Amino acid sequence: MAWLLRHLLPARDNLVGPGQLPRIGIQRILVCRPNHRLGNTVLLTSLMGEIERHFPGAEVDVLGSGEATRGILGGFATIGELFLLDRRALRRPLASLRTLRSLSRKHYDLVIDAASGSSSGRLAAGMAKARYQVRVEGSGGDAPVHFAARPVHALRRALGEARLEPIPTLDLRLSAAERERGAAMLERVLQSAPANDAPTLAIFPNATGRKRLDATWWQTFVDELIRRAGPFRIVELVAADGQSRIGNAYPTYFTSDPRKLAAFIDAADTYVSADCGVMHLAAATRAITIGIFGATDPDRYAPFGGRNLGFRSDDGCPLAAAIRVAAHLRQSTAM
């Protein structure tokens, strides 16, 4: 697909170089990030915050994938229309073409291809009728490594802005009412736990493929973490199949709504998991978010911003991981 796009899609004359994007007259913006993975959509919120900073009065349409996009971006007042591809877009070509056709009928001042190396993102950005186009791919040798920061850097480079301002943190723009409901739900879930004033630790002992850590690993990790930094009130966040990964050893919480899950995590003090989409969702809340990495690269995918931490655990030792997490929590709470 990438080869076909490079050779068959004609080059657009609207690509802007460094400093060529005007700061005025940008009212209609399209962001292309057609990826169904939860984490990749959450990473887009840094770019959304950056767009608001430069173009506060603009309306931002988004080409995404999967219904979770509505919840993740629903807190942004600048959001206009969402064009959502099916997560199996290639298996539903007619539906995908209808979505792209609807998108191609609109006219934009700016389109941002927000994913490096995405064939579908490049195709959509190339089809969009826009005066200016910004791409993450080819945005300079000084581009940051982390995937949340790269599209922000590309936009700043197009505007000719020096890299002085911090990259906006991930943020779902949870409302006060959502936070209150999340806190109330957390207390209901933990009502059967021993009553104490200990901080809450939310764990999500699930991930895809080689990133997943087994129940024995998690129990050893939690026991050592409690010994070094506890006590904690612990709650397990349950995956989409509704099954506990650690034998219901702790109170559990399940929801298919990403905003409800984020509000629940927001009410907790700390979140820990392997690299996964829920980790990025947690990083978009006020909870200290810690990601344990094995098969993937924390430089690119660590929980972004704030007091969050992502680190490698190549040896897979739960005791070593617990020591690292305990040290980070002590340092974070001392700030």
Please determine, for residue 143, whether its predicted confidence score (pLDDT) is greater than 50. yes
Longest CA–CA span in the chain (Å) reads 65
Selection from 1, 4, 3, 10 nearest residue 127 by Cα: 10
Contact between 283 and 305 under an 8 Å Cβ cutoff? The reply is yes
Please determine, for residue 221, whether its predicted confidence score (pLDDT) is greater than 90. yes
How do 252-253 and 270-274 pair as beta strands? Answer: unpaired
- Could you tell me which residues come within 8 angstroms of residue 94 by beta carbon, excluding any fewer than 6 positions away? none
Please give the C-alpha separations between residue 74 and each of 46, 68, 124, 258, 334, in angstroms, as whole numbers.
14, 10, 22, 11, 34
Structure confidence at residue 117 (pLDDT): 61
> 175 vs 118, which has greater pLDDT?
175
CATH code at 2-159: 3.40.50.2000
Please give the average per-residue pLDDT across 11-29, as a whole number. Answer: 90
Structure confidence at residue 137 (pLDDT): 78
From 57-61, 102-106, 283-287, the region with the lowest mean pLDDT: 102-106
What are the boundaries of each domain within the chain? Answer: 2-159, 176-334
- Could you tell me which residues come within 8 angstroms of residue 126 by beta carbon, excluding any fewer than 6 positions away? 5, 9, 10, 12
At residue 120, φ and ψ (nearest 5 deg) are -70, -35
Structure confidence at residue 1 (pLDDT): 46
Common-topology check for domains 2-159 and 176-334: yes
How confident is the prediction for the chain on average, in pLDDT?
89
E strand segments, the chain: 28-32, 59-65, 79-85, 107-113, 129-135, 200-204, 233-237, 252-253, 270-274, 288-293, 309-312
DSSP 3-state of 79: strand
Reported as a pLDDT band with limits 50, 70 and 90, residue 51 is: very high
Reported as a pLDDT band with limits 50, 70 and 90, residue 140 is: low
DSSP 15: B
> 146 vs 87, which has greater pLDDT?
146
From 113-122, 173-182, 240-249, the region with the lowest mean pLDDT: 113-122
Q: Is 61 exposed, middle or buried (0-12, 13-18, 19+ CB in 10 A)?
A: buried
129-135, strands of its sheet edge to edge: 79-85, 59-65, 28-32, 107-113, 129-135
Taken in order 148, 150, 153, 158, the sign of the CA dihedral is negative
Second CATH level (architecture) for the domain 176-334? 3-Layer(aba) Sandwich (3.40)
Percent of the chain with pLDDT over 90: 67
Reported as a pLDDT band with limits 50, 70 and 90, residue 120 is: low
Structure confidence at residue 86 (pLDDT): 73
How do 288-293 and 270-274 pair as beta strands? Answer: parallel
